[in-house]
Structure 1
């Protein structure tokens, strides 16, 4: 059982992450790759990734558990791979040793390579660097546009639940078996884990690669990072096809624009992402706005656009 003991300040500082973290998603993917239980959505994905994963990336599997655990230094919630790798490689020896000892106590083997990592051996950490880079290139890089689209659709939906139904609905809906006991959030977990928060807040971070219980990790700024399975995991987020009902309804360009606008975009940003002129992007936004699917607001010289509740509902039903 996972028990998160919150203060009122923590609950007043619940936020939703604004972007996916590539190394967090890589860690989740490597954990899900090792699962052999009832997650049929991921079965074809597992077979495909197992065939294509380069041997250079295999050392990661010595560090992360199919239970959803990994050394905390391995998957910092950084915005890009380069920044994340810098953080991984700068891990102090004491922290690396403590995290590797924790993982071996859970279910990871104490191999000679893991011992060398704990000793901050240069060659061992070079192997880790190459493994992370190879894993990212093989599993994350090609899927990154779909990961981003799925992440932003999920966080827009979760933010709407938070705004319309309140904190209780937003948190208890993250995963099955979540309940409140006073100021303590309880959730099913493979082992007993008690976390006591100290008013820094909680950030909700969906993962498109995880399909099980709630996961918790400390954020570098002191917040608690709650990682939960996105409603629509990556294997169900196939690229749009002509049979896509949303595309059939509003056209391919406007369907793409609506999916982009689960996050705020200026007209210039929208034009760039759609690969059209600003005038064409403005026209597409006007049609979506007049249909009630987006709203627009001017800020100085910039015009910002984002989805309405109706637009989010249309995207949600399209995914269904």
Structure 2
């Protein structure tokens, strides 16, 4: 059983991550490939991802990642450093910046006396830079085949979960929010205690620290917390997608934007551009990320900018693009982020120079 103890002020510090965390999704996806949990929901995804792993020559890479991050009562905390981190690159940077003493200690808990330590784990524990860089590349490539193609469904599920949490918080405050996570979590208001089924007995005392609740598409059955009680507290909870989600997402189109309703509105390529501009990218970087020519990337960014979905600014000789809040709202399917429409008589072209989003 996992028990999270709240002080009086801790309830005011609870936060809910607005978007899925790429590394938590990556780790849970890796675990799903090591087990048969939720077979009805995830077996079609397993088959598709395993085919992609073979096609991309990632079999040995995924096997190595599975040894480092086994589906077990313990897996290393350093692989999931985020508290709702939205960018894969920044999350991987955090992984690669893990202090050496933590690498050694956490890997030492994975590879105990009855499990031989592979050479790559020994090098990681020593903080070997080339090995760390190889780990970062392995994480990125696994994300590309196991998580990125399904981001549309993942984001849709997170966006659907968020209003229910907001309504619970508005009606019942922090107590109402925590109570809304039943049956995965049990909130005992009288004792300020949050409980969850867990493979080991854990007591987590917040002691004035903020607890971040992170929704996860690939998390199954029960919530997950970091093993080290000294790290910033997070609790990752399952979103429990319905059987058939993969088939439904494929009916909307192909690729990473297949499950995004926005792809039906602006087209799959522009939806992919909008998705990529979660972080600032130059036109050249955008083209390289999506394998588009410079002129094509520039043209799509211009159209999105004129629609108010992207903001562009000059930096030296380059133009940097970034998604605007309106673009975030469109991508997440959140109508509350959109401005009210103009009356019909005034619905004219946007003023020249109006702010736009990628």
Under a length normalisation based on structure 1, what TM-score does the superposition of the two structures give?
0.69
CA spacing shift, 1:44–1:125, aligned 2, 3 Å = same
Q: Is the 8 A contact 2:14 2:210 kept in 1?
A: yes
Across the two proteins, how many residue pairs are aligned to each other?
Answer: 265
Classify 1:222/1:111 alpha carbon distance in 2 versus 1 (closer, same or farther; 3 Å): closer
Aligned mate of 1:152, from 147, 156, 159: 159
Report the alpha carbon displacement of residue 28 of structure 1 after superposing the two structures with TM.
1.4
1:93 deviation in Å?
0.8
Aligned counterparts of 1:107 and 1:161: Cα–Cα separation in 2: 47
Partner of 1:268: 308
Distance across 1 between alignment mates of 2:341 and 2:235: 37
Q: Report the Cα distance in structure 1 between the residues aligned to 2:204 and 2:241, rounded to whole angstroms.
A: 28
Which of 185, 191, 195 is equivalent to 2:200? 191
Q: CA RMSD in A?
A: 3.8
1:35-74 → structure 2 map (5 Å cutoff)? 35-53=35-53, 54-55=58-59, 56-67=61-72, 69-74=74-79
CA contact (8 A) 1:206 1:229 kept: yes
Residue number in structure 2 paired with 1:85: 92
Work out whether residues 25 and 209 of structure 1, in 8 Å CA contact, stay in contact via their aligned partners in 2.
Answer: yes
* 3-state SS in 2 of match to 1:239: helix
Could you say which residue in structure 1 is the equivalent of 2:249? Answer: 239
Per the TM alignment, residue 153 of structure 1 is displaced from its structure 2 partner at its CA by 2.1
Equivalent position of 2:211 in the other structure: 202
CA distance in 2, matches of 1:70, 1:282: 41
Q: Which has the higher contact order (CA 8 A, sep 6+)?
A: 1
TM-score computed with the length of structure 2 as normaliser: 0.63
Q: How does 1:113-192 map to 2 (within 5 A)?
A: 113-174=120-181, 176=183, 178-181=185-188, 182-192=191-201
Deviation at 1:103, TM superposition (A): 2.8
Asked if the contact 1:16/1:159 (under 8 Å) is kept, the reply is: no
Query: How far apart, CA to CA, are the structure 2 residues paired with 1:235 and 1:103?
Result: 35
- Which of 211, 223, 237 is equivalent to 1:214? 223
CA contact (8 A) 2:157 2:217 kept: yes
> CA shift at 1:151, angstroms?
1.7
Deviation per CA, 1:213-267: give whole Å up to 9, x if none: 111138999642110001436962633858xxxxxxxxx759xxxxxxxxxxxx8
Which residue does 1:305 correspond to in 2? none
- Paired with 2:8 and 2:330, the residues of 1 have a C-alpha distance of 43
| Alignment gaps of 5+ in structure 1 | 243-251, 255-266, 276-280, 288-300, 303-320
CA distance in 2, matches of 1:268, 1:3: 46
For residues 234 and 18 of structure 1, the distance between their equivalents in structure 2, rounded to whole angstroms, comes to 24
Distance 1:205 1:107, change over 3 A: farther
Report which stretch shifted further, 226-235 or 69-78: 226-235
In the alignment, which residue of structure 2 is the partner of 1:26?
26
Report Cα offsets for 1:284-314 as digits up to 9, x if no partner. Answer: x649xxxxxxxxxxxxx99xxxxxxxxxxxx
Change over 3 Å in CA distance of 1:148–1:179 after alignment to 2: closer
Following superposition, the deviation at residue 178 of structure 1 comes to 3.0
Encode CA deviations 1:18-62: one digit per residue, 9 max, x unaligned. 222211211111112212245421122122222322223332111
